[in-house]
């Protein structure tokens, strides 16, 4: 990048796409779009890390994939043919047509407005004018939505952004569906390939999360579930890891890890973990909502209903998923949830995750190439299963 860079290039006259990564979570999501440029020698992709309070881990993520990285200061002073991101912070400084996509299960999180005529009101995060508009101008060129119902929320919170909206579907939904056939191999990777049932416990971040409100659930599970029948795996939001530090997370859970708890590191593919589960226990986070796709019982250990958009997949899940009781045997609660499980009750949750099931790759690639002003390749983008999961090892969590 920069003056004179062309003399060092192997491929010249490429369109250059900038992928803006704020956090590991948003980086994992926007990579789903960047991979749609595979095999195209007309396009060069470079990455930059944008400032974010949860930015720890991004440098390791970009290094692990072998990304060509541009410093943020240089990125904001360079023109690109296209930029893509899954978070809005600082994007008004980027000089390129900009595609923004959600980094969770749709735009489900409600936040309090801090500016404008509706100060104090609550709007869907990243769909409000406070974040979409800067100095009177709409920041994104295209706003990717997972579901057509999100158009209504966008119209109410930022009507001037509706023409920029494109309903593409959800890449995690599509990958999770493609991963279900690999369930047995994922279970082996997670240490439950010996006939034991796999209980996946997932927590989002923040004080209202499962870890923030009901941390006593983990020791209860290890105490009450027979080890020869059940294996417990924990999946924590990357913001827990990078907000408190990986050392701190492993230290908080040290005794539980010694007692047999398995811990999935933040860089592993969480979709494979969900696909492997026999039960999922979670909260109002996106991962719990995605768990409905797997066709296994989903239980709620905690749920912050006021933080969820009414009608979102999370809110719909809270209406049908059983709550974990602090009284009574956890083993009995899991078995009862399995006996009472009816997949039809979760149909509305699943359908709310994506109104374009199986079509994210096709729709998103069409959008990317339209913004690049390039002919779309003739190949068909196939949705692949999630990469097999792995665990944080005993050696790695000791200090």
**Over residues 76-85, mean pLDDT:** 97
Please check whether residue 277 lies inside any domain of the structure: yes
Q: How far apart are CA 243 and CA 205, in angstroms?
A: 9
Residue range 379-398, pLDDT digits in tens:
888 999 999 999 986 444 44
Q: Would 387 be classed as within a structural domain? A: no
Decide if 331 is inside a domain.
yes
Long-range (24+ apart) CB contacts under 8 A made by 342-347 are 343/295, 345/320, 346/292, 346/298, 346/317, 346/320
**Same domain flag for 306 and 364:** no
The answer on 122 and 59 residing in a single domain is yes
Q: Reply yes or no on whether the pLDDT at 8 is more than 80.
A: no
**100/145 same-domain check:** yes
Q: What is the pLDDT of residues 48-78, one digit of tens each?
A: 999 999 999 999 999 999 999 999 999 999 9
Of the listed ranges 124-138, 268-282, 332-346, the least confidently predicted one is: 124-138
Domain count, the chain: 2
Taking Cα atoms as reference points, which of 54, 51, 89, 57 lies closest to residue 72?
Answer: 51
Tell me the two tokens of residue 178. 């493609």
The DSSP output letter for 341 is -
Position 272 pLDDT exceeds 90: yes
Indicate whether 271 pLDDT > 70: yes
Same domain, 71 and 147: yes
Return the pLDDT at 191. 92
pLDDT at residue 25, rounded to an integer? 95
Judgement on whether residues 127 and 210 belong to the same structural domain of the protein:
no
Q: What is the pLDDT of residue 131?
A: 86
108 and 204 in a common domain: no
| 303 plus 317 within the same structural domain | yes
Same domain, 219 and 96: no
The span from the CA of 69 to the CA of 1, in Å, is: 10
The pLDDT of residue 109 is above 80: no
Mean pLDDT, the chain, integer:
92
Domain at 111, CATH number = 3.40.50.2000
pLDDT, position 117? 46
pLDDT of residue 60: 95
On whether residue 397 sits in a domain, the answer given is no
**pLDDT tens-digit profile of 141-153?**
999 999 999 999 8
76 assigned to some structural domain:
yes
Q: In this structure, is residue 214 part of a structural domain?
A: yes
Phi, psi of 280, deg, nearest 5:
-125, 130
| Confidence (pLDDT) at 381 | 86
Domain carrying residue 252:
175-353
- Could you tell me if residue 379 is inside a domain? no
Residues 113 and 192 in one domain: no
Q: Is the pLDDT of residue 246 over 90?
A: yes
Q: Are residues 77 and 166 in the same domain?
A: yes
Rounded to whole angstroms, how far apart are CA atoms 13 and 27?
27
pLDDT of residue 44: 96
- Is 366 a member of any domain? yes
Q: Do 227 and 266 fall within a single domain?
A: yes
Question: Does residue 31 share a domain with residue 134?
Answer: yes
Decide if pLDDT at 317 tops 60.
yes
The C-alpha atoms of residue 196 and residue 55 are separated, in whole angstroms, by 37
């Amino acid at each position: 990048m920069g003056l004179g860079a062309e003399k060092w290039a192997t491929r010249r006259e490429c369109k250059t796409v900038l992928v803006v990564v704020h956090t590991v979570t948003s980086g994992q999501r926007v990579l789903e779009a960047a991979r749609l440029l595979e095999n195209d020698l007309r396009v060069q992709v470079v990455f930059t890390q944008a400032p974010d309070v949860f930015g720890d881990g991004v440098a390791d993520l970009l290094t692990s994939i072998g990304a060509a990285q541009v410093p943020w200061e240089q990125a904001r002073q360079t023109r690109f043919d296209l930029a893509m991101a899954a978070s809005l912070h600082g994007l008004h400084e980027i000089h390129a047509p900009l595609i923004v996509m959600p980094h969770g299960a749709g735009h489900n999180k409600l936040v309090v407005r801090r500016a404008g005529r509706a100060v104090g009101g609550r709007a869907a995060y990243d769909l409000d004018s406070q974040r979409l508009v800067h100095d009177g101008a709409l920041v994104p060129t295209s706003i990717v939505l997972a579901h057509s119902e999100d158009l209504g929320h966008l119209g109410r919170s930022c009507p001037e952004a509706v023409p920029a909206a494109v309903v593409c579907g959800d890449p995690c939904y599509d990958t999770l569906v493609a991963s279900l056939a690999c369930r047995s191999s994922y279970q082996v990777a997670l240490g439950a390939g010996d006939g034991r049932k796999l209980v996946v416990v997932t927590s989002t971040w923040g004080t209202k999360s499962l870890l923030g409100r009901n941390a006593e659930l983990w020791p209860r599970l290890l105490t009450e579930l027979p080890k020869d029948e059940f294996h417990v795996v924990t999946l924590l939001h990357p913001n827990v890891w990078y907000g408190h530090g990986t050392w701190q997370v492993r230290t908080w859970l040290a005794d539980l890890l010694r007692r047999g708890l398995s811990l999935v590191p933040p860089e592993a593919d969480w979709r494979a973990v969900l696909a492997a589960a026999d039960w999922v226990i979670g909260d109002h986070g996106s991962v719990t909502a995605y768990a409905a796709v797997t066709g296994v019982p989903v239980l709620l250990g905690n749920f912050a209903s006021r933080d969820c958009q009414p009608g979102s997949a999370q809110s719909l899940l809270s209406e049908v998923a059983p709550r974990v009781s602090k009284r009574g045997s956890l083993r009995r609660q899991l078995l009862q949830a399995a006996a009472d499980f009816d997949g039809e009750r979760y149909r509305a949750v699943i359908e709310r995750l994506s109104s374009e099931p199986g079509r994210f790759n096709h729709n998103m690639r069409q959008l990317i190439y339209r913004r690049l002003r390039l002919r779309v390749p003739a190949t068909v983008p196939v949705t692949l299963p999630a990469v097999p999961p792995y665990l944080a090892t005993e050696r790695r969590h000791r200090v």
